[in-house]
DNA sequence: ATCATACCCCACCAAAACAGTTGGGAATGG
DNA sequence: CCATTCCCAACTGTTTTGGTGGGGTATGAT
């Protein structure tokens, strides 16, 4: 597994926030029930995202979480990196640790893998996810007719 | 980190075998010294690769490990999957576990990440690595002139 | 005012994965 | 026959994973 539950749960939960963007806060309870995720666990994930400045909160009754930026300004990469740490393959990539650069044929492999992941996660925003989601829902409706 | 030392060490070591393809076996000792990897740890990695049919051994004095196939028939993906397990993002991808497919906008993200990784690791063979390695060495030599 | 709601924060925990280490055994070339 | 080299199983310390538990603070509703 490339991603742990941190990234997987976190991305789902943040997408849920994006569905409610502009409509007020969503409580942890609702999200954790909808996706069957431990409320306390999800809270820890949201704490990281809040500290990173991607979501903000309203405390007290009727409070909850909401995106701190527009869905089009939040990428999947921002969320995953905050929760999972840097999506790197090897310590030698991006650093000059590699003492035998010329010998190291594997380094370029690691770079390619990293780049291919980066290309995907840094390009897709929450707004993009919403657009694609809409299409999927429309198609699902067509099937049911 | 997407890859653990299993995949990173393993790929380096197997590439070393490919450099010696057709020239007889290479001992664990040589490889572990060259790359500064624990000999016993590397042995466990090679055991997996042997059981997968990617490398074979000659026991006894002057013995060692060698590729069981031509470098062009061994991909980076074969090595990494043997050592790291399947390079998946989420259990719902490739399975029908996902109870709320239409709702799950994250699934397509995970599929895209997986596909981008697969595209890289299943396309590159050990022979490809060697070709690229040669070019890097040639350029390094030019620089030194 | 007070109470239920809901976030905030810290500590703790069991299980698994990671990155090895230890040590005994078996095959083989010199 | 012995040094070399692979084979295999068990064990170990550390970190990560995936949570649980509990006390505290803010706030809208009654």
- Give the closest-approach CA distance of A33 to chain B in angstroms: 14
* SS3 call for A65: strand
Strand D at less than 7 A from CB of A38: yes
Q: Residue B32 belongs to what domain range? A: 5-144
Q: Which chain B residue has the Cα nearest residue A93?
A: B1
Does A145 or B107 have the greater pLDDT score?
Answer: B107
Give which of A34, A90, A109 to mutate to test B binding, by max B Cβ within 10 Å.
A109
- Burial category of B127 from C-beta neighbours within 10 Å (exposed 0-12, middle 13-18, buried 19 and up): middle
For B76-102, give the DSSP string. HHHHHHHHH----S-TTTTSS--TTTT
Q: Which residues pair with B55 in a beta bridge?
A: B67
Query: So what's the pLDDT on residue A90?
Result: 86
- What does the pLDDT average to over A130-140? 84
pLDDT value at B68 more than 80: yes
Q: How many domains does chain B have?
A: 1
Q: How confident is the model at residue B25 (pLDDT cuts 50, 70, 90)?
A: very high
Average pLDDT of chain B, as a whole number: 91
Task: Say if the Cβ atoms of A120 and B120 lie within 8 Å.
Answer: no
Task: Say if the Cβ atoms of B129 and A137 lie within 8 Å.
Answer: no
> pLDDT of B114-138, one tens digit each?
999 999 999 999 999 999 988 877 8
> pLDDT of A51-110, one tens digit each?
999 999 999 999 999 999 999 999 999 999 999 999 999 876 655 445 554 457 899 999
- What does the pLDDT average to over B14-27? 97
Query: So what's the pLDDT on residue B14?
Result: 98
Q: How confident is the model at residue A139 (pLDDT cuts 50, 70, 90)?
A: confident
Nearest CB to B11 within list A1, A106, A116: A106
Lowest mean pLDDT among A60-64, A105-109, A123-127, B72-76: A105-109
* SS3 call for A21: coil
- What does the pLDDT average to over B28-44? 96
The CA–C1' separation of B44 and C20, in angstroms, is 10
> pLDDT of A13-51, one tens digit each?
999 999 999 999 999 999 999 999 999 999 999 999 999
Which CATH number belongs to the domain containing residue A90 in this structure?
A: 1.10.10.10
Question: Using CA atoms, how far apart are residues A112 and A93, in angstroms rounded to an integer?
Answer: 10
């Amino acid at each position: 597994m490339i991603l742990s539950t941190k990234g997987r749960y976190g991305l789902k939960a943040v997408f849920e926030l994006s569905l409610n963007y502009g409509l007020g806060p969503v409580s942890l309870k609702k999200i954790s029930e909808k996706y069957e995720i431990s409320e306390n666990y999800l809270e820890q994930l949201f704490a990281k995202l809040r500290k990173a400045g991607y979501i903000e909160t309203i405390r007290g009754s009727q409070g909850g979480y909401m995106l701190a930026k527009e869905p089009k300004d939040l990428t999947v990469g921002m969320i995953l990196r905050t929760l999972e740490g840097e999506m790197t393959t090897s310590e030698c990539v991006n650093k000059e640790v590699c003492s035998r650069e010329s010998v190291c044929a594997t380094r370029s492999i690691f770079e390619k893998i990293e780049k291919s992941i980066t290309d995907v996660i840094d390009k897709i925003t929450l707004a993009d996810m919403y657009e694609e989601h809409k299409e999927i829902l429309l198609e699902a409706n067509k099937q049911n007719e």
